[in-house]
């Protein structure tokens, strides 16, 4: 009969205490979690340059960290902030002129109904749409404020991570309860996942936005640079993507009598913008991991619910990390287990057959 000795009971009790404190701290510090994720993401992207400046160029750690933080702000955050500021101004204008916007939508709906016999929006739906537009700005501005807070926390954490990079990684290497090869695999694949989600998704969205902008300029779409910004944001959404912009735009142009422009926008959107997504992924395939579409879809849904807009990036990253941890757990604890009959566990048998091939 097996039993637990005093040392094992003490160990379990101590682990439960650590788990309790970890959950308590996470619940209290949850609002800072997006900033922490952002700091980890930027650290992974900057660590190679940080070590090169400190070890090869003999820079002081604080100076190297400050330079990388300034560069990351100028290259990544400042352009994104300018785009969000422009989008916020347009949203504010739309809210302040919501009655005019609803009137224009009614006119388009009436023309579509006359020409195609389809009633896209009833009066009740239009009323709900106007209420949604009016209540959207406070939530959008609140999300912007939360994002600014997360950015401040992100850079505060990032500075200490960069300055103490080697110590932090050595501590993680020591305290992670995994085999050496699994720790190395965790670090390598986590690095790949960060680049795939934090760099790959926005980069592909920008490429689609640029391709769309070319079409907007050629076909004379009003305010093409504003629609370029909106396309960049919607291109990060799974399944729908940039079609959330060029499909309604094409229908609107058709309904307002700009037939050739509407047809051109729709054909260009499906034929060129849609293909550009696949081309961009093919060109970047060697640089970034191929994230499964289902991971992207559910990651975006969960991420946006948890973190707001920045959840577009962090949501898929969290799901990818969860799947990676399951794989490492299986490799760490289940790969050598055998069932009662003496046969290999499925994971071990699969790995053995793979190695024999």
pLDDT in tens, 162-186: 999 989 988 888 888 777 888 888 8
CA–CA dist 133, 100 (Å, integer): 12
Please indicate, yes or no, whether the overall pTM of this predicted structure exceeds 0.75.
no
5: left (phi over 0), alpha (psi -120 to 50) or beta: beta
Which pLDDT score, from 0 to 100, does residue 232 have?
87
Residue 244 pLDDT exceeds 70: yes
- Give the residue extent of every domain in the chain: 30-175, 178-333
215 neighbors 272 (Cβ within 8 angstroms): yes
Section 231-257 average pLDDT: 82
The pairs formed by 267-271 with CB atoms below 8 angstroms and a separation of 24 or more are: 268/215, 268/219, 269/212, 269/215, 269/242, 269/243, 270/243
Structural tokens at position 250 = 């094409």
Confidence of residue 70 (pLDDT cuts 50, 70, 90): very high
CA–CA dist 251, 336 (Å, integer): 59
CA–CA dist 329, 123 (Å, integer): 55
């Amino acid at each position: 009969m097996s039993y637990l000795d005093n040392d094992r009971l003490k160990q379990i009790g101590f682990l439960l205490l650590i788990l309790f404190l970890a959950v308590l701290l996470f619940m209290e510090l949850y609002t800072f979690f997006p900033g922490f994720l952002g700091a980890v993401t930027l650290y992974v992207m900057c660590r190679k340059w940080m070590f090169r400046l400190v070890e090869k160029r003999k820079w002081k750690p604080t100076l190297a960290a400050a330079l990388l933080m300034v560069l990351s702000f100028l290259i990544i955050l400042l352009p994104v902030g300018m785009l969000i500021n422009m989008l916020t101004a347009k949203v504010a204008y739309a809210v302040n002129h919501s009655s005019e916007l609803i009137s224009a939508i009614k006119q388009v709906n009436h023309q579509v109904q006359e020409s195609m016999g389809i009633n896209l929006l009833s009066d009740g739906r239009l009323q709900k749409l106007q209420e949604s537009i009016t209540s959207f700005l406070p939530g959008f501005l609140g999300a912007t404020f939360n994002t600014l807070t997360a950015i401040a926390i992100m850079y505060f954490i990032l500075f200490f991570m960069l300055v103490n990079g080697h110590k932090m990684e050595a501590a993680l290497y020591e305290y992670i309860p995994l085999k050496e090869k699994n720790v190395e695999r965790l670090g390598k694949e986590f690095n790949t996942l960060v680049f795939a989600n934090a760099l790959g998704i926005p980069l592909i969205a920008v490429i689609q936005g640029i391709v769309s902008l070319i079409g907007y300029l050629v076909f004379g779409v009003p305010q093409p640079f504003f629609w370029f910004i909106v396309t960049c944001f919607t291109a990060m959404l799974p399944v729908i993507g940039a079609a959330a912009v060029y499909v309604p735009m094409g229908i609107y142009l058709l309904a307002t009598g700009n037939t050739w422009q509407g047809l051109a926008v729709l054909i260009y959107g499906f034929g060129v913008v849609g293909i550009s997504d696949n081309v961009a992924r093919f060109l970047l395939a060697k640089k970034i991991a191929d994230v499964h579409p289902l991971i992207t879809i559910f990651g975006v849904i969960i991420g946006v619910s948890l973190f707001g807009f920045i959840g577009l990036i962090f949501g898929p990253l969290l799901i990818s990390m969860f799947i990676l941890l399951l794989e490492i757990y299986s490799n760490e604890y289940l790969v050598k287990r055998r069932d009662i009959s003496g046969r290999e566990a499925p994971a071990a048998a699969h790995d053995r057959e793979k190695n024999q091939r």
